[in-house]
Structure 1
Amino acid sequence: MAAKLKQTTVTAPVAGELVPLSVIHDPVFSKGLMGKGFGIEPSDGKISAPVSGAITMIASTKHAIGVKTADGMEVLVHMGIDTVELAGKPYQIMVKLGDQVTAGQAMATMDLASVKKAGKATTIITVITNTAAMGYQLFLNEVDQAVAAGDSVAMVTGKAKPAASSQPADEPVGDGKYDQLAHDIIKNVGGPANIKSLIHCITRLRFYLKDESIANTAVISGLDGVIDVTKGSGQYQVVIGPAVNDVYDAVIAQLGSQFADDDATKQAVADTTAAAKKQHPQNILELIQHGFGNIIGVMTASMIPVIGILAGSGILKGILAALTGFKVLSTTSGTYMVLNAIGDATFYFLPVILGFTAAKKLGSDPIVLAIVGGILIYPQIIAAAGKAATAQISFLGIPTHLVSYSASVFPIIVAAWLGAYVEKFLKKVIPLYLRSVFIPILEALILSVIVLVGVGPIITVISKGLADGILAIYNFSPALSGFVIGGLYQTMVIFGLHWGLIPIVINDIATNGHSYLNAILSVTMVAQGGAVLAVFLKSKDKKLKEISLAAAVSAFCGVTEPALYGVNLKYKRVFVWASIGSAFGGLITGLLRVNNYALSGSLIGFPAFITPNVGIGSNFYGYLISHYGTLIISTVLVFLFGFSDKMLAKNKTPKLDAAK
């Protein structure tokens, strides 16, 4: 529904002399960088609400209060200039966050004498902070005259946004790629009035803020294009990644050049570049851990938007497996075909989805990366990868082994990470008037070739080597192989290295009618489900409990992605203890020689452990012992040692540069 033009009366928040913003001794306000408004030189210290609405912000130093009207107008009352340094001593706040106030209602008191004694100006400034986004026009009464608190001093016209709506976001800002992100970052660090200066290093925007407590870290961390937020060295650091130069330019363009410090920026870039280079020879293990942490962090961040649908799809696939296992539903029926498509589509097209979400996090082009994901699962490539006779191809004379990228995660994350660098390079060599046509297709071509010709064969070689090694261990000792496979398999899944084992399982079932190996793989799913179930039982966080329970059910239905990427990897200790539990579960499975008779597993796949023509017997009892034993072990280990709600506050996406 289109926004209507709305008129709002703004009253004087304090008694005194009404003055225009242009005479205020603070360039952030006088130049209108915070929005349109007015000032009052107060004659007393009783501060009231200039409009009716909800209290949305109270500065930790008490010098500023934000009010949002029912129509979406955001009004800031700023009490004094440079009064952050007074640490709130001159103020008494009479409202709290979330309170509904009416125009003229008392909000605070300000000790004018105390402020003047500290050498600070007492000017009370009232500004509309979303002026630009909403297109507000302010018509101010005659200035340089005395007003009383509660007097009508200005009329504002602009677009109304009904309170009953779902709080729509501000209208798009600018037409540059990073203009909106720049606007959102500025707004959520507290606006220009809260910024002293800004520099950047090789991956981060580094703000010097007047009051860090005003910054809305949770919102900034969730912005598309922001990887993380951290604090250090007196700076509020917003981690952007490879696109940091472009985002910095967009922020400075909106703030003004007076906020930039070119010399400090050059020094920060030089220092962080040197520190990053210095890490390579000095501590290779730490560098590997750093890189691994970055990859896992981006994977989990990219998966978060689809965790819910993945969990639901996993549960649907589990129900279908049970229905077909009990012969209630035939795999050739139309009902099965439609339901299976619904349950399977998210997994099949996962590279497309992750290409889009990962690109938004890493600063690549989301559409191009979605196309790259589509190329990886293009039907002809998938079909060729599934046959030994066609999997080995030649691309421009380069021998290439095709693999199936359907439901894969790691390859498209690599492509999204490289995408920002490829796009940056192409912008340097392609003229501006040709970029819109040639950069997207060339970027898609380069990234697709890198994955298909480079990443795919590497994964194939490593996974085949792991599969051969695991098979040799199994032939030597089923119990030992169960311990090794149980502990490592889900890590292999993360990097797409498990595909080397799948043909072995399929071949075992096709030629022998059963697979000991698949029984071991099955308990790894249960272990991940048990781990996330422990998080559900232990956490008091409502959102985490909701995700954890759905992920646990999905894992028990044979789909571990929601558990892995939604919870366990995000809180790494959970994954470690789950893998330990999984190793012991695999050991039990190997010792009992549990067999699997179909391509099914986890708790929902129990019919696959009933021996054909024999029925429920020793093998099924072995299944119950190994799988439910694994469930208990994994759940108890994570509950006792793997998780606490303290990890919610500590959890951060790994940092992308060496400087702290």
Structure 2
Amino acid sequence: MKKAATRRLLAPVAGRVLALADVQDPVFATATMGPGFAIQPTDGRVVAPVSGRVTVVAATKHAVGLVTASGLEVLVHMGIDTVELNGAPFVCHVQVGDTVQAGEVLAEMDLAALQRAQKIATVIVVVTNGQTVLDDLIVAATDQMVTAKTAVATAVLAVTPVPGAQVVTPTTAASDAKLESESESKSKSKSKPNSTSKYAALATAIVTNVGGPGNVNSVIHCITRLRFYLKDEHRAQDAVIANLDGVIDVAKAGGQYQVVIGPAVNEVYDAVMAQLGPAFADTTAGTPTATATQAAGAPTETDAPTGWLPRLRHGVSQVIGVMTAAMIPVIGILAGSGILKGILAALTGFHVLTVTSGTYMVLNAVADATFYFLPVVLGFTAAKKLGSDPIVLAIVGAILIYPSLMTAAGHATTAQITFFGVPTHLMSYAASVFPMIVAAWLGVSVERGLKRVIPLYLRSVFVPILEALILSVIVLVVIGPLITMISKGLASGILAIYNFSPALSGLVIGGLYQTMVIFGLHWGIIPIVINDIATNGHSYLNAILSITMVAQGGAVLAVFLKSKNKPLKEISLAAAISAFCGVTEPALYGVNLKYKRVFVVASIASGLGGLLTGLLHVNNYALSGSLIGFPAFITPGVGIGPNFYGYLISHYGTLLIATTLVYLFGFSDKMLPATSATAK
């Protein structure tokens, strides 16, 4: 067996060594571009971390790509989002085709100019083809000060290279294509027709899925990414774009919709511009005014919705878009957890298991953990969607469900607290969605503000903890009590309607309850249900809530039956089963809200089902519902009788209504993105 060879990577600049995960750019921090390390510079002189040939020099001078004799493709990226500065703070000393030795000067960066432009000067080194040519990249102890040319990392090659040979990989080929393109920029392109066709096809798919030309204000690119300024980011199909061949990932930051391509970004950008036309080239991206405007994501006057109703619709659409995008990564495990919860409910209902048995406790922990810790997961995914710090927002989610706070929130006598003299009411944030979306949205501004006032050398310690503190306090002291107040008011109104007319309350509650779930306003109703069952042994209200689960399940079942898109059919079926087991989150966030008409039609069907439930005076005798909870509708001491028959009529009638209405009026594969509608 051949012994694995190693190659040293030098510090490209003097400063403090950072782990890649500490870089304040999600694409680099998650190693999407490959393994590597970073340096927080104290000097602007940038040297080559390896010996090799220069394959890429960014037009904006902020990045240089090298390829070594052993096939390592090494990218030196100077600063974060510095492409927007149009090369002003950089001076490059090399050009494409040059051969350099490790430690030789590549460029100089003006650190003072970067600070004035409020840009982070971190120098990032990544091996862009590391997944194919490396077994490991070992970085020396981080958080230590080093001088330029100090060996800080060791690359362990996957195969011992032949001296002087080059390992050919797809990314190497892309870099060579880039070199050939730049060296012949003044002559006729010599790209092969199939390469041109590949980039053109990818460009078409990207433009289509960002919402088409009509949704694009302008496009720029850096060394690895296409950076779109979109009129409405929520029209972009993130998952579809991220899964395209030739796309590494999708990121959002600074008002830009970023499609990570890698070394072939120039070819893809040219193909995009060939389709959009030169009018979409952002020639002012480097100017301070343009950068400030674009970073804020400000729409033009013609793009901004006018009138209170269009603005309201736009705002609601943005909130729903963020919630669904943040939930997509966990929809699968939520659906599986919901099904397991349903199975456990059936097993305990038929006395196969008891809630005190060890088997039940373990299985219940597996089924319930995703829901209990949902704020933590959502903090991470929503932050990635909105461009705030995912780790900090995950910590905020953990703070909201911290055991002592959750325990206090569970008792009326301890739920009312003061924070530095400010009275606040604690609520349970387990399985909550909306508060974390608000926190992630605010996190962008809070983090930006903290970075403006905290010196660079203190940011890594103080920015995360202060951001977590500020966001947690906002949620606990402002958002939580506001939600509690609104939900209590809604609960009182719903109770008054029910006392006036059970049928009318069924129509109202059935139609609105799942919308209340989305915004966390349903918590005011839950105590009423618990109190009814505890004091009276039954709850008419819970029977109506049960109907709403069936309606959402029926709606997503219709999507499964009608769609020809295989991935959508798979998630729809799992979400339907989960809803029938009493857990609607996968149906809500995975499908129904994403295709808004499905949710609207499902809510109408739910209202009709609630009306039917009220007319039949269906009663519920336990904290269970939906189709899996049918034992909760068997009247104690009576057995199967009129109430159970009313359950069958109302619930399966709602299932039929919801499925039929959505199948006929609520969904079509035409609502899917063009590239996914025909997926088999």
Name the TM-score, length of structure 1 as normaliser. Answer: 0.66
CA displacement at 1:290 relative to structure 2: 1.0
1:492 to 501, 516, 519: 516
The aligned residue for residue 479 of structure 1 is: 503
1:297-343 alpha-carbon deviations (Å, 9 max, x no partner): 11111111111110010000001101111111111111111111110
1:243 to 254, 261, 273: 254
CA displacement at 1:134 relative to structure 2: 3.0
* Pair 1:261-2:284 in alignment: yes
In 2, Cα distance between equivalents of 1:2 and 1:288: 65
Aligned partners of 1:540 and 1:645 also within 8 Å? yes
1:169-248 pair list within 5 angstroms: 213-215=201-203, 231-232=213-214, 235-236=218-219, 237=228, 239=233, 243-244=254-255
In 2, Cα distance between equivalents of 1:442 and 1:492: 31
Aligned partners of 1:242 and 1:421 also within 8 Å? no
Structure number, greater radius of gyration: 1
The code of the aligned residue for 2:284 comes to D
The aligned residue for residue 318 of structure 1 is: 342
SS at match of 2:325: helix
In 2, Cα distance between equivalents of 1:560 and 1:629: 18
> Could you list the runs of 4 or more consecutive aligned residues of structure 1 that deviate by over 2 angstroms after TM superposition?
1-6, 21-24, 30-37, 134-137, 158-161, 189-193, 210-221, 228-248, 258-282
The aligned residue for residue 346 of structure 1 is: 370
CA displacement at 1:469 relative to structure 2: 0.6
Aligned partners of 2:252 and 2:258 also within 8 Å? no
The aligned residue for residue 134 of structure 1 is: 129
In 2, Cα distance between equivalents of 1:355 and 1:419: 10
Aligned partners of 1:4 and 1:160 also within 8 Å? no
Aligned partners of 1:359 and 1:369 also within 8 Å? yes
1:365-384 pair list within 5 angstroms: 365-384=389-408
Alpha carbons of structure 1 residues 273 and 364: separation in structure 2 relative to 1, 3 Å: closer
Aligned partners of 1:409 and 1:495 also within 8 Å? yes
Structure 2 unaligned residues grouped into runs of 5+? 7-52, 74-125, 134-163, 186-197, 220-227, 234-250, 267-280
The aligned residue for residue 143 of structure 1 is: none
CA displacement at 1:265 relative to structure 2: 7.1
The code of the aligned residue for 1:134 comes to N
CA displacement at 1:158 relative to structure 2: 3.3
In 2, Cα distance between equivalents of 1:466 and 1:31: 55
CA displacement at 1:235 relative to structure 2: 3.7
1:21-32 pair list within 5 angstroms: none
CA displacement at 1:585 relative to structure 2: 0.3
Aligned partners of 1:482 and 1:588 also within 8 Å? yes
The aligned residue for residue 619 of structure 1 is: 643
In 2, Cα distance between equivalents of 1:641 and 1:72: 55
In 2, Cα distance between equivalents of 1:259 and 1:278: 18
In 1, Cα distance between equivalents of 2:55 and 2:545: 73
CA displacement at 1:27 relative to structure 2: 9.5
Aligned partners of 1:34 and 1:192 also within 8 Å? no
Alpha carbons of structure 1 residues 342 and 216: separation in structure 2 relative to 1, 3 Å: farther
Give the share of equivalent positions with the same residue, in percent. 65
The aligned residue for residue 566 of structure 2 is: 542
In 2, Cα distance between equivalents of 1:190 and 1:297: 40
The aligned residue for residue 52 of structure 1 is: none
CA displacement at 1:261 relative to structure 2: 3.4
CA displacement at 1:276 relative to structure 2: 6.7
Structure 1 unaligned residues grouped into runs of 5+? 7-20, 38-70, 74-130, 138-154, 162-169, 172-183, 197-209, 222-227, 653-660
In 1, Cα distance between equivalents of 2:285 and 2:292: 11
Instruction: Judge which range, 268-277 or 354-363, deviates more.
Output: 268-277
C-alpha RMSD of the superposition = 4.6
SS at match of 1:399: strand
The code of the aligned residue for 2:530 comes to I
In 2, Cα distance between equivalents of 1:32 and 1:510: 66
Aligned partners of 2:409 and 2:427 also within 8 Å? yes
1:287 to 311, 332, 336: 311
* Pair 1:402-2:426 in alignment: yes
Alpha carbons of structure 1 residues 635 and 72: separation in structure 2 relative to 1, 3 Å: farther
CA displacement at 1:633 relative to structure 2: 0.1
1:635 to 633, 656, 659: 659
1:461-472 pair list within 5 angstroms: 461-472=485-496
Name the TM-score, length of structure 2 as normaliser. Answer: 0.64
The code of the aligned residue for 1:231 comes to P
Alpha carbons of structure 1 residues 428 and 269: separation in structure 2 relative to 1, 3 Å: closer
The aligned residue for residue 47 of structure 2 is: none
